[in-house]
Structure 1
Amino acid sequence: MLKILHVASEATPFVKTGGLADVIGSLPKALQQKGMDVRVVLPKYGTIPEQWRSQMRWKKSITVPLAWRNQFCGIETVQHDGITFYFIDNEYYFHRKHIYGYDDDGERFAYFSRAVLEILPHMDFQPQILHCHDWHTGLVSVFLESFYSHLPFYEKIRTVFTIHNLQYQGIFPKHLLSDVLGLDESYFTMDSLEYYGQINYMKGGLVFSDLLTTVSKSYGEEIQTPYYGENLDGLLKKRRKHLFGIVNGIDYDLYNPANDPYIFLPYHDSLQDKSFNKIKLQESLGLPIDSNTPMVAIVSRLVSSKGLDLIAHVLDELLSLDLQMVVLGTGEEKYELLFRRAAERFPHKLSAHIQFDEKLARQIYAASDLFLMPSRFEPCGIGQLIALRYGSVPIVRETGGLKDTVQAYNDYTCTGNGFSFTHYNAHDMLFTVRRALQYYQDKKLWSRIFENAIHSDYSWRQSAQQYINLYKTLFFQAP
Structure 2
Amino acid sequence: MKILFAASEAVPLAKTGGLADVAGALPKALRAKGADVRVIMPKYGSIPDIHRSRVTHIGYIMIQLGWRRQYCGLERVDVDGVPYYLVDNEYYFRRQGLYGYGDDAERFVFFSRAVAELLPLLASSGFAPDLVHAHDWQTGLVPLLLKLGYGGDIGRAAKSVYTIHNLKYQGCFSRETMQDLLGLGDEWFAPDRLEFSGGASCMKAGLLYADKLTTVSETYAEEIRTPEYGEHLDFVLRLREGDLVGIVNGIDTESFDPMRDEQLAVPFRDSLAKKRLNKIALQQQLGLREDVETPLVGMVSRLVAQKGLDLVEAILEDLVRDGLQLAVLGTGEAQYEQLFRTYAARYPEQVSAAIGFDDGLARRIYAASDLFLMPSQFEPCGLGQLLALRYRSVPVVRETGGLKDTVPPYNEFTGEGIGFSFAPYAAHDLLFTIRRAVSFYGQPDHWAALHRNIGRTDFSWLASAKAYLLLYRGLATPLALRP
Q: Determine the structure 1 residue equivalent to 2:116.
A: 117
Q: TM-score, normalised by structure 2?
A: 0.97
Matches within 5 A, 1:61-140: 61-123=60-122, 124-140=126-142
- How large is the Cα RMSD of the aligned pairs? 1.1
Residue of 133, 145, 157 corresponding to 2:147: 145
Matches within 5 A, 1:10-409: 10-123=9-122, 124-148=126-150, 151-409=152-410
Using the TM superposition, give the Cα deviation of residue 264 of structure 1 relative to its aligned residue in structure 2, in angstroms.
0.6
Whole-Å Cα distance in 2 between the matches of residues 101 and 183 of structure 1?
25
Whole-Å Cα distance in 2 between the matches of residues 314 and 445 of structure 1?
25
Whole-Å Cα distance in 2 between the matches of residues 197 and 435 of structure 1?
48
Partner of 1:476, secondary structure, is helix
8 A contact 1:68–1:182 mirrored in 2 = no
Using the TM superposition, give the Cα deviation of residue 234 of structure 1 relative to its aligned residue in structure 2, in angstroms.
0.6
Whole-Å Cα distance in 1 between the matches of residues 4 and 139 of structure 2?
12
Using the TM superposition, give the Cα deviation of residue 178 of structure 1 relative to its aligned residue in structure 2, in angstroms.
2.8
Which stretches in structure 2 are left out of the alignment for 5+ residues? 479-483
Q: 1:322 to 1:450 in 2, by over 3 A?
A: farther
Q: Output the amino acid matched with 1:129.
A: L
Q: In terms of mean alpha carbon deviation, does 97-106 or 387-396 score higher?
A: 97-106
Whole-Å Cα distance in 2 between the matches of residues 473 and 417 of structure 1?
34
Whole-Å Cα distance in 2 between the matches of residues 154 and 343 of structure 1?
55
Using the TM superposition, give the Cα deviation of residue 345 of structure 1 relative to its aligned residue in structure 2, in angstroms.
1.2
Which stretches in structure 1 are left out of the alignment for 5+ residues? none
8 A contact 1:389–1:455 mirrored in 2 = no
Q: Output the amino acid matched with 1:323.
A: L
For the pair 1:442 / 2:468, whether they are aligned, the reply is no
8 A contact 2:149–2:156 mirrored in 1 = no
Q: Output the amino acid matched with 1:115.
A: A
Whole-Å Cα distance in 2 between the matches of residues 191 and 272 of structure 1?
59
Partner of 1:183, secondary structure, is coil
Whole-Å Cα distance in 1 between the matches of residues 337 and 155 of structure 2?
49
Q: In terms of mean alpha carbon deviation, does 452-461 or 34-43 score higher?
A: 452-461
Q: Output the amino acid matched with 1:46.
A: G
Using the TM superposition, give the Cα deviation of residue 152 of structure 1 relative to its aligned residue in structure 2, in angstroms.
2.8
Whole-Å Cα distance in 1 between the matches of residues 402 and 85 of structure 2?
30
Using the TM superposition, give the Cα deviation of residue 119 of structure 1 relative to its aligned residue in structure 2, in angstroms.
1.2
Q: Deviations over 1:341-365 (max 9, x none)?
A: 0111111111111110000000110
Using the TM superposition, give the Cα deviation of residue 155 of structure 1 relative to its aligned residue in structure 2, in angstroms.
2.7
Using the TM superposition, give the Cα deviation of residue 75 of structure 1 relative to its aligned residue in structure 2, in angstroms.
0.7
Using the TM superposition, give the Cα deviation of residue 423 of structure 1 relative to its aligned residue in structure 2, in angstroms.
0.4
Q: TM-score, normalised by structure 1?
A: 0.98
Q: Output the amino acid matched with 1:128.
A: D
Whole-Å Cα distance in 1 between the matches of residues 468 and 6 of structure 2?
15
Whole-Å Cα distance in 2 between the matches of residues 35 and 236 of structure 1?
32
Q: Output the amino acid matched with 1:137.
A: T
Whole-Å Cα distance in 1 between the matches of residues 87 and 103 of structure 2?
17
Partner of 1:148, secondary structure, is coil
Whole-Å Cα distance in 2 between the matches of residues 120 and 153 of structure 1?
7
Whole-Å Cα distance in 2 between the matches of residues 405 and 167 of structure 1?
21
Q: Deviations over 1:145-194 (max 9, x none)?
A: 12338x43333200000000000000001112331111111211111100
Using the TM superposition, give the Cα deviation of residue 32 of structure 1 relative to its aligned residue in structure 2, in angstroms.
0.4
Q: Output the amino acid matched with 2:367.
A: A
Q: Determine the structure 2 residue equivalent to 1:467.
A: 468
Q: In terms of mean alpha carbon deviation, does 289-298 or 8-17 score higher?
A: 289-298
Partner of 1:177, secondary structure, is helix
Whole-Å Cα distance in 2 between the matches of residues 453 and 309 of structure 1?
29
8 A contact 1:390–1:454 mirrored in 2 = no
Instruction: Give identity over the alignment, percent.
Output: 54
Q: Deviations over 1:425-464 (max 9, x none)?
A: 0010000000000000011210110221233111100010
Partner of 2:138, secondary structure, is helix
Q: In terms of mean alpha carbon deviation, does 26-35 or 320-329 score higher?
A: 320-329
Q: Determine the structure 1 residue equivalent to 2:421.
A: 420
8 A contact 1:76–1:88 mirrored in 2 = yes
Q: Deviations over 1:210-266 (max 9, x none)?
A: 000000000000000011000000110110000000000000001100100111111
Q: Deviations over 1:51-82 (max 9, x none)?
A: 21111111112212223332101111101111
8 A contact 1:391–1:451 mirrored in 2 = no
Using the TM superposition, give the Cα deviation of residue 473 of structure 1 relative to its aligned residue in structure 2, in angstroms.
1.1
Whole-Å Cα distance in 2 between the matches of residues 318 and 38 of structure 1?
47
Partner of 1:475, secondary structure, is helix
Q: Output the amino acid matched with 2:307.
A: K
Using the TM superposition, give the Cα deviation of residue 49 of structure 1 relative to its aligned residue in structure 2, in angstroms.
1.6
Partner of 2:84, secondary structure, is strand
Partner of 1:175, secondary structure, is helix
Using the TM superposition, give the Cα deviation of residue 416 of structure 1 relative to its aligned residue in structure 2, in angstroms.
0.4
Whole-Å Cα distance in 2 between the matches of residues 201 and 316 of structure 1?
43
Using the TM superposition, give the Cα deviation of residue 103 of structure 1 relative to its aligned residue in structure 2, in angstroms.
1.1
Using the TM superposition, give the Cα deviation of residue 412 of structure 1 relative to its aligned residue in structure 2, in angstroms.
2.2
Q: Output the amino acid matched with 2:120.
A: P
Whole-Å Cα distance in 1 between the matches of residues 120 and 150 of structure 2?
12
8 A contact 1:372–1:396 mirrored in 2 = yes
Using the TM superposition, give the Cα deviation of residue 139 of structure 1 relative to its aligned residue in structure 2, in angstroms.
0.7
